[in-house]
Amino acid sequence: MMEADDNEQIRFISAEIMDQGADGIPILLAILGRDVPPDRRLSLIELSKDGAALARLNDLAVKGVYTIHEIPVLLEHMDARMVNLEASLIPADTLQRITGLDVGYNSQFVAGFSKELEPKRQQMLNAWRVWYDARR
């Protein structure tokens, strides 16, 4: 999937990875953790790869298939790579499913978000970090 160059290919490959269940999680995490040159980071193809990996991790979490190792990758992605805040709702939902913590990171929070709320957003992310740190 890292070498895919069109959205149809990305969707097809991500579906195959998801069919592997828990064995596909490390592959999806590697996709999210890949090194993307700064000039390509916001390209539609790279964003599609991220979106597909995040969606498939969430699909697996909905089925109860997840690992604690997803938490730091999802948090890093939400901290450093989110292009728009609405896109962060999928990894936030995945984090909630994995940890069981509802920190209030939801569509209402995102809809009302302003720069002044960034400390609150960081506090929410930190709650998931603390949960992870206590269990690793």
Arithmetic mean of pLDDT, 1-15: 90
Of the candidates 57, 61, 55, 45, the one whose C-alpha atom is nearest the C-alpha of residue 10 is: 45
Tokens encoding 8:
């149809």
Taking the C-alpha atoms of residue 118 and residue 112, their distance in angstroms, rounded to an integer, is: 11
For the stretch 61-107, pLDDT in tens is 999 999 999 999 999 989 876 667 888 999 999 999 999 999 999 99
Instruction: Count other C-beta atoms under 10 Å from residue 105's C-beta.
Output: 24
Per residue in 12-62, pLDDT (tens digit) is: 999 999 999 999 999 999 999 998 888 888 788 999 999 999 999 999 999
Domain edges within the chain: 7-135
pLDDT at 79: 87
* Matching residue, tokens 């064995």: 23
pLDDT of residue 13: 95
Q: How far is CA 83 from CA 16, 36, 65, 78, in A?
A: 26, 14, 27, 9
